[in-house]
Amino acid sequence: MKIATTKERILQYIDYKGISKQTFFKETGLKRGFLDADKLHTSIPDTFIATIIATYPEINLNWLLTGHGSKLKSESADFIGKEIEVDNADLPVKRNRIPFYDDVSTIGGINDCVATMDSSSPSEWIDAGDWFPEATAAIRHYGDSMVEYPSGSILALKRVNDTRLIMNGHNYVIETTEYRVTKQLQDQGDRFMAYSTNRETYPDGNLIHAPFPVPKDAILHIDLVLGCVTKEYSSGAIQIRK
């Protein structure tokens, strides 16, 4: 019996969803032509898979890559949190799935409302793949004070369990009893100074995003930012920044 390829399963999903290929290309931003009949057995980049899952989060990734299980996540709940064994020359053998808290966000300034990852259930489990093999979670980032992280991008995080190991000048998501922010940290004894990478100033020369102190005894969690994932909708590309 002929085994369908990942591209053929994409076509099956398009048919199941009742949309045209033109609509699929418009919604994902992927280049037209890679689903042509003469290209169904050629390789598909990881970035295409990431784009499809980001656009249609209901798709069961295990089914898309291997053909095992149901098309939809809701019909394959037993799969959540497990590694995928992939028999596909286009992709690595094992995938790294981490919890994505889409309702838990970070901003460049100070956020009045904090929803901790400890008290929230993951919105879904996403594939960190080979991009961020050490990642332990992912959340959204908003704002413009950290120029390397576009507003709306997803940050891949690694929990820091020992604050003595904080590396000065590196970017961290720091959560206190009052707010959650993404900043560069400098250790100053009983506190960290939190700096923005956006150096814009007011007309009088003062920084718009001024540094501020974070008392260590007010900190609930610190996570090292490993990088971010953002979609360029104009081109459909997935940009990976580490």
Q: 3-state SS of 113-164?
A: CCCCHHHCCCCEEEECCCCCCCCCEEEEEECCCCCCCCCCCEEEEEECCCHH
Do residues 87 and 141 both lie within one domain? no
Calculate ∠ Cα 110-112-114, nearest 5°: 100
Question: What confidence category does residue 194 fall into, taking pLDDT thresholds of 50, 70 and 90?
Answer: very high
- Please give the structure tokens belonging to residue 198: 């956006």
Do residues 82 and 108 both lie within one domain? no
What is the Cα–Cα distance from 18 to 9, expressed in whole angstroms? 14
Q: Report the half-sphere exposure of 80 (CA within 13 A, side-chain side).
A: 15
Do residues 182 and 124 both lie within one domain? yes
137 CB neighbour count, 10 Å cutoff: 21
Do residues 163 and 206 both lie within one domain? yes
CATH code for the domain of 183: 2.10.109.10
Q: Worst-scoring range by mean pLDDT, 24-33, 51-60, 69-78, 223-232?
A: 69-78
Identify whether 81 is part of a domain. Answer: yes
CA distances to 115, 120, 143, 160, 179 from 220, rounded to whole Å, are 12, 15, 22, 11, 10
Question: What confidence category does residue 108 fall into, taking pLDDT thresholds of 50, 70 and 90?
Answer: very low
Give the pLDDT confidence of 88-104 residue by residue, as tens digits: 444 444 456 788 877 66
Mean pLDDT of 29-44: 84
Give the pLDDT confidence of 126-162 residue by residue, as tens digits: 777 667 888 888 888 888 889 998 888 888 999 998 8
- Residue 23: CB partners within 8 Å, gap ≥ 6? none
Give the domain range for residue 43. Answer: 6-95
